[in-house]
């Protein structure tokens, strides 16, 4: 299981090393900022692990706010490479799905017609355009791209150094970089023709990976909030003893359990195939994205002022929730996809289909 | 929260056994037959309001009432997960299941666990045959959330029986059912949770007076159950004298965890989809339907997790409380969302079964969803109390 470990030495506030109670115990204490250490590394499961195992690991990565493209590698890039029968490189990977690119044959056949060429001597491609907001592009050993080539759906890989990189970030400061490709030649050895449904599978994988991260960040919100309301005293009692606090805390726990259940329920269907996974994954990402706001709201409300600062690790989870809910399709996008095929007659069968 | 202790967040993911899908198919074809008969009408809240003893009996003939009871007592000896499949199918279809609901969900398991062999032999086969219907006599005027404060008394008679005096409130179906399980004080104790006992009261016995209480919709579903010196034989004590509180709280995981705690208004969503099929649907309407569907799906997964815990004999009260709070809030949200997706004036006098009538019905019943079986505020207290142990 411990085949690969992603380096987590990027500079961030080390959430696990930070103890909020110190702040209250010692009024002079300022932020305890540390860097992630090897102990924070989350092992990347073996590529052969089941989706359920990969999801559990991604959830843990989300809980710890691991500063690396863990879920992107384990649940999206690697399985796609495998499906396309391309070798899987070690280390962090990323992906770009259906980007707006101009793709031509790099070596159009002499008999080819038109500028794009209707056939090539081989499948080497010439790619121009921008891959937008690629997760962790600057740290990724390779980026898996799923797009449409002159011959149909294609998967190819490139390395970030082959592109011009414009750095970007999400609310949590996670890299979301643009990669500009100017007539980049992708050798045929890195190009694979793929079945059309691989693009849909890729979208489902990305959405479910993101949902697992959200479930993990939500769990972090629960852990931090419970610890905080137990430790923090006002009016001579721990906050957790107040009815009003309990009521909100219970809702936080419920919403988190809900997201987690939705993510778990999509694991087996994804292993079964695209048709089985459509409903379960759309439901998981809809639920995960839709719950993010309430989870972040309650966690912040119960933390009070310290939660709004970098003195406390809560922001590691909540800023991720606010970003991740939008990434790989927000709840509006997935809710529509979920609802479109539903009818009065098939709603209940859809809810009760077993993988 | 150490990983070793089960966390209230992490529910087991349940994959139903193969037998479940066969069972589901059988229930669906039974429901088709009943639909053709005109008994299954897709109505919301059918476990409270769908009263049809004939339907209950036909269901029992298939072995689907008391189906988790052992075969030696007339049950089908099947697990909670299989029972779950049957009842979720019935509720989603809006089938009239209220006559046998409490017998099947609560009275049966309770008599099995706490009853004497004589009680088991008498009640369980009748329950499983769909011929013995129970009510719950817990709440009183002064005892709602604070149930342990009940004032109904049971005194020993000289002949070794019991005499019950007091008034139970909101007793669902008491005017139509055969028996009620009544919680009464048998002993004065320091600790108010001690000294309580459960009794099986024949609702036709002398001294039982049933006074209708109308719901705001005008329906007669529940009652004030006056116990005016009702004499019971000694054999009608259920379980041990003084163990009433323990027994009642033991029942709660069953009472709180089932699919009826999130499916009460599901038929209204089906009705909405039927309406939308006749129109061109906007992206916004789709979004609302999708968000509701995702939540239903997610809550169902949690609810199945509770059924699996019960099946495995694991403690499930915290999880049951969690699912019930989520599920019953969804029942209300569903109604409000349906209303905003397809603005229709709710009309209780519209054609029965039409969308405006179903909307009115679901709306008029809505305040009860988050009250019955323990209010949501109380449930949330249970969830956080559970957390402190982790
Ligand atoms: C449709 C329906 C069917 C029912 N059927 C039956 C039946 O068949 N048999 C039966 O015995 N009972 C039945 N009940 C009664 C039900 O169990 C009670 O309504 C419930 O336990 C709440 O009690 P109460 O109504 O007295 O409210 P109260 O306990 O008076 O509560 C009123 C409000 O105060 C809140 N509250 C109370 N205590 C606390 C606290 N400690 N912390 C925070 N908030 C608190 C409650 O959450 C609620 O919002 C039924 C109720 C309904 C609505």
Closest-CA distance of chain A to residue B38, Å: 18
pLDDT for the residue numbered B67 = 95
* pLDDT of A207 higher than 80: yes
Asked if B255 is an active-site residue, the reply is: yes
Burial class of residue A185, CB neighbours in 10 A (0-12, 13-18, 19+):
middle
Note the ipTM here: 0.93
Closest-CA distance of chain B to residue A314, Å: 17
Burial class of residue A262, CB neighbours in 10 A (0-12, 13-18, 19+):
buried
Question: Among A43-47, A149-153, B129-133, where is mean pLDDT lowest?
Answer: A43-47
* pLDDT of A32 higher than 90: no
* pLDDT of A4 higher than 90: no
pLDDT for the residue numbered A113 = 59
In testing the pocket of ligand 1, which one of B215, B375, B384 has its CB within 8 Å of the most ligand atoms?
Answer: B375
Question: Count of CB atoms within 10 A of residue A167's CB?
Answer: 10
pLDDT for the residue numbered A184 = 98
- CB-CB contact of B178 with B141 (8 Å): no
Structural domain boundaries in chain A:
3-80, 91-193, 197-352
Res. A235 pLDDT band, cuts 50 70 90: very high
Of B218, B310, B334, nearest to B14 (Cα)?
A: B310
Nearest CA to ligand 1 atom 13: B170
Average pLDDT over residues B123-142: 97
Res. B298 pLDDT band, cuts 50 70 90: very high
Tens digit of each residue's pLDDT (9 = 90 or more) over B135-178: 999 999 999 999 999 999 999 999 999 999 999 999 999 999 99
Average pLDDT over residues A17-40: 42
How many beta-carbon pairs below 8 A join chains A and B? 155
* pLDDT of B261 higher than 90: yes
pLDDT for the residue numbered B12 = 87
Minimum CA–CA partner of A334 in chain B: B290
* pLDDT of A8 higher than 70: no
CATH 3.90.480.10 fits A91-193, yes or no: no
A235 touches chain B (CB under 8 A): no
Average pLDDT over residues A244-256: 97
* pLDDT of A59 higher than 60: yes
Judged by CB atoms within 8 Å, which residues 272-331 of B form the interface with A? 273-274, 277, 283, 286-291, 293-302, 305, 322, 325-326
Contact check, Cβ <8 Å, A335/B290: yes
* pLDDT of A2 higher than 60: no
Average pLDDT over residues B99-118: 96
* pLDDT of B389 higher than 80: no
- CB-CB contact of A266 with A211 (8 Å): yes
* pLDDT of B312 higher than 90: no
Find residue B240's DSSP bridge partners: none
Tokens of B331: 């029942």
Rounded-to-10 torsion of CA B226, B230, B235, B237? 40
Question: Among A40-49, A120-129, B222-231, where is mean pLDDT lowest?
Answer: A40-49
Q: What is the mean pLDDT of chain A?
A: 87
Average pLDDT over residues A228-254: 95
Nearest CA to ligand 1 atom 22: B144
User: SS3 breakdown of chain B: % helix, strand, coil, rounded to 5?
Assistant: 50, 15, 35
pLDDT for the residue numbered B18 = 87
The domain A197-352 is classified under which CATH number: 1.20.140.10, 1.10.10.60, 1.10.260.40, 1.20.1600.10?
1.20.140.10
| Domains by residue range for chain B, with CATH | 19-133 (1.10.540.10), 136-242 (2.40.110.10), 247-389 (1.20.140.10)
Q: Annotated catalytic residue: which of B88, B255, B331, B357?
A: B255
Site from A230, A241, A261 to mutate, B interface, most B CB atoms within 10 angstroms: A261
Judged by CB atoms within 8 Å, which residues 214-273 of B form the interface with A? 266, 269-271, 273
pLDDT for the residue numbered B256 = 86
pLDDT for the residue numbered A43 = 67
pLDDT for the residue numbered A256 = 98
Burial profile B201-219: b = 16 or more Cβ within 10 angstroms, e = fewer? bebeeeebebeeeeeeeee
pLDDT for the residue numbered A241 = 93
Angle B52-B219-B324 from CA coordinates, rounded to 5°: 75
pLDDT for the residue numbered B92 = 98
Distance B353 CA to ligand 1 centre (A): 30
Angle A242-A247-A253 from CA coordinates, rounded to 5°: 120
Tens digit of each residue's pLDDT (9 = 90 or more) over B239-252: 999 999 999 988 88
User: How far, in Å, are A35, B21, B25 from residue B80 at the CA level?
Assistant: 50, 15, 18
Of the partner residues B270, B322, B380, the one whose CB lies closest to the CB of residue A246 = B380
Of B388, B308, B220, nearest to A229 (Cα)?
A: B388
**How far is it, in rounded angstroms, from Cα B56 to Cα B63?**
11
pLDDT for the residue numbered A10 = 36
pLDDT for the residue numbered A110 = 75
Burial class of residue A265, CB neighbours in 10 A (0-12, 13-18, 19+):
buried
Closest-CA distance of chain B to residue A118, Å: 38
């Amino acid at each position: 299981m411990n085949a690969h470990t992603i380096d987590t030495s990027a500079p961030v506030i080390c959430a696990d090393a930070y103890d909020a109670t110190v702040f209250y115990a010692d009024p002079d204490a300022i932020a305890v900022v540390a860097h992630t250490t090897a102990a924070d590394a989350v092992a990347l499961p073996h590529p052969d692990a089941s989706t359920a195992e990969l999801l559990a690991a991604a959830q843990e990565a989300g809980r710890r706010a691991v500063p690396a493209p863990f879920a992107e590698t384990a649940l999206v890039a690697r399985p796609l490479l495998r499906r396309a029968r391309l070798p899987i490189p070690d280390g962090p990977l990323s992906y770009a799905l259906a980007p707006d690119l101009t793709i031509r044959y790099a070596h159009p056949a002499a008999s080819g017609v038109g500028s794009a060429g209707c056939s090539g001597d081989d499948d080497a491609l010439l790619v121009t355009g921008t891959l937008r907001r690629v997760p962790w592009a600057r740290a990724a050993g390779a980026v898996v791209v799923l797009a449409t080539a002159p011959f149909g759906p294609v998967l190819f890989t490139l390395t970030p150094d082959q592109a011009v990189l414009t750095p970007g970030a999400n609310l949590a400061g996670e890299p979301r970089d643009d990669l500009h490709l100017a007539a980049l030649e992708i050798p045929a050895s890195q190009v694979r023709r793929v079945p059309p449904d691989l693009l849909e599978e890729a979208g489902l994988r990305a959405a479910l990976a993101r949902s697992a991260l959200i479930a993990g960040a939500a769990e972090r919100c629960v852990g931090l909030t419970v610890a905080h309301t137990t430790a923090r005293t006002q009016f001579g009692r721990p906050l957790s003893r107040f009815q009003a606090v309990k009521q909100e805390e219970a809702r936080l726990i419920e919403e988190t359990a809900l997201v987690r259940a939705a993510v778990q329920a999509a694991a087996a269907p994804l292993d079964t195939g695209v048709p089985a996974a459509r409903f379960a994954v759309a439901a998981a990402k809809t639920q995960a994205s839709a719950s993010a706001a309430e989870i972040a709201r309650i966690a912040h409300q119960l933390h009070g002022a310290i939660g709004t600062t970098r003195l406390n690790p809560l922001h590691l989870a909540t800023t991720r929730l606010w970003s991740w809910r939008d990434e790989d399709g927000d709840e509006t996008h997935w809710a529509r996809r979920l609802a479109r095929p539903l009818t009065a007659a098939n709603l209940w069968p859809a809810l009760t289909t077993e993988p | 929260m150490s990983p070793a202790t089960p966390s209230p967040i992490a529910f087991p993911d349940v994959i139903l056994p193969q037998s479940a899908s066969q069972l589901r198919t059988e229930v669906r074809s039974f429901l088709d037959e009943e639909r053709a008969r005109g008994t299954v009408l897709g109505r919301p809240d059918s476990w409270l309001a769908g009263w049809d003893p004939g339907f209950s009996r036909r269901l029992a003939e298939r072995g689907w009432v008391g189906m988790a009871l052992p075969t030696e007592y007339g049950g089908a000896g099947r697990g909670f997960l299989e029972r779950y499949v049957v009842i979720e199918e019935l509720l989603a279809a809006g089938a009239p299941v209220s006559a046998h609901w409490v017998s099947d969900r609560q009275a049966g398991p309770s008599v099995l666990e706490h009853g004497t062999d004589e009680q088991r032999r008498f009640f369980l086969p009748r329950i499983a045959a769909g011929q013995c219907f129970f009510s719950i006599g817990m709440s009183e005027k002064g005892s709602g959330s604070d149930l342990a404060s009940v004032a109904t008394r049971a005194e020993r008679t000289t002949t070794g029986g019991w005499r019950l005096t007091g008034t139970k409130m909101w007793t669902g179906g008491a005017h139509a059912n055969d028996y009620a399980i009544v919680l009464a004080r048998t002993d004065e104790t320091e600790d108010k949770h001690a000294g309580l006992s459960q009794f099986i009261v024949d609702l036709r016995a002398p001294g039982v007076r049933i006074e209708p209480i109308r719901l705001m919709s005008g329906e007669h579903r529940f009652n004030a159950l006056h116990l005016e010196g009702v004499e019971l034989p000694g054999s009608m004590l259920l379980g041990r004298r003084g163990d009433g509180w323990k027994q009642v709280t033991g029942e709660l995981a069953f009472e709180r965890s089932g699919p009826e705690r999130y499916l009460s208004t599901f038929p209204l969503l089906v009705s909405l989809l039927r309406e939308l099929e006749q129109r061109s649907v906007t992206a916004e309407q789709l979004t609302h339907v999708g968000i509701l569907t995702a939540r239903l799906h997610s809550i169902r997964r949690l609810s199945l997790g509770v059924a699996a815990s019960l099946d495995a004999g694991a403690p499930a009260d915290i999880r049951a409380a969690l699912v019930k709070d989520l599920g019953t809030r969804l029942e209300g949200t569903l109604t409000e969302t349906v209303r905003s997706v397809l603005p229709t004036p709710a009309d209780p006098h519209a054609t029965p079964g039409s969308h405006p009538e179903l909307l009115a019905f679901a709306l008029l019943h809505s305040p009860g969803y988050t009250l019955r079986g323990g209010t949501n505020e109380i449930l949330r207290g249970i969830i956080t109390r559970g957390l402190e142990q982790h």
